[in-house]
Structure 1
Amino acid sequence: MPHSLRPVFSLLIAATLAVCGGSASARESLGLYGTWGAFRDPVVPRCYAIAIAEPSALRRDYQPYVAVGTWPRRGARNQLHFRLSRKMAQNPRISLSIGGKRYALIGGGGDAWPRDENDNAAIIAAMRSATKMSVSAQGAQGGRFGNSWPLAGAASAMDAALIGCAQLR
């Protein structure tokens, strides 16, 4: 692995462990695409594309990441999940900005999701052509905070995850 990719790969592994918890022994890497990685877990079975948020010097309660998961047995494909960097206020107003559009998200604690399948599909489509996306929310201690993700490689990682799960049942 080129030296320049080692920090990115290390961050993806850390994000993968944050998403999945415990040992990564059952998970298989499907590839690294820019700052995005794709993984398959045949034990569950599931596949997902994942990226950590851009670095920040601001306080963080959690390591923020975004994951796009597929669970063949559940018939679920391209399900979007955000882990944000801070605990959110009760009934937070969560907003995603991508490709010149804004989407309201739902969630609590440190997690956020699209409101419904239509928004999920629209966001996934926007991720394929936009260069960056940002989520902002009201923090539990007041004030708004945000996390951003570059999208270079996101489409390839999402495709790799879909293909990686195409034959898992």
Structure 2
Amino acid sequence: MRLFVPLALLLIAAPLAARDGATRDSPTRDSLGVFGQWGAFRDPATPRCYAIAEAQPTTNRRDVQPFASIGSWPARGIRNQLNLRLSRRLAATPRVRLAVGGERFDLIAGGGDAWAPDARADAAIVAALRAASSMSVSATDAAGNRFTDRYSLDGAATAIDAAAVGCARR
């Protein structure tokens, strides 16, 4: 499983970059390292840096491969912003809750993604990630069923730091 993580992180990083407006003429994203279950990348074309991880495997139905990322866009003044790609399309008025250690956070969401409501919540979530060993996000899908995506936080703090240093060096 450990050998699979670097390849899996590269495979999920490419669609994330494509969704954020990268073109085929954009330079390749720079790998800043793989740390436990998390990877760190720099996209010099945007410019942005991010830590990213896949959700843990499950036998439950998934519409897409879920991932969690913490991204920074220095030119926009955005630092350590949470983005979750959820495993299912969401209900029209979803209730999405993130659990990190013993802390709970209500998120805003649309389609198949969820975010913290503001920069203060992002900072609180990142602080909680640094102190916990796992996190989970629960929501209601378009069919009205509750589901949960779970993540290991092994390496998350180091990947977040590597992404921050990667953008500071540009």
Taking structure 1 as the reference length, what is the TM-score of the superposition? 0.93
1:161 equivalent to 2:158? Answer: no
The answer to whether structure 1 residue 80 and structure 2 residue 82 are counterparts is yes
How far apart, CA to CA, are the structure 1 residues paired with 2:147 and 2:27?
A: 34
2:17 maps to 1:17: no
Counterparts of 1:84-103 in structure 2 under 5 Å? 84-103=86-105
5+ residue gaps in structure 1? none
Q: Name the residue aligned to 1:108.
A: 110
| Partner of residue 150, structure 1 | 152
CA distance in 2, matches of 1:91, 1:5: 37
- Distance in 2 between the 1:144 and 1:104 partners? 15
Tell me the equivalent position of 2:68: 66
Distance 1:41 1:112 in 2: 22
Aligned equivalents of 2:84, 2:92: Cα separation in 1: 17
Q: How much identity, in percent, do the aligned residues show?
A: 51
Deviation for aligned residue 1:29: 0.5
- Structure 1 counterpart of 2:119, one-letter code: E
Matches of 2:117 and 2:46, distance apart in 1: 25
Which amino acid is the alignment partner of residue 112 of structure 1? A
State the match for 1:137 in structure 2.
139
Runs of 5+ in structure 2 lacking a partner?
none
Matched, 1:30 2:32: yes
Q: Which consecutive aligned stretches of 4+ in structure 1 deviate over 3 angstroms post-superposition?
A: 22-25
Paired AA for residue 18 in structure 1: P
SS of the counterpart of 2:82?
A: strand
Structure 1 residue 25 displacement after superposition: 5.0
* Alignment partners' CA distance in 2, 1:145 and 1:25: 37
CA RMSD across the alignment: 1.4
Aligned residue pairs, count: 165
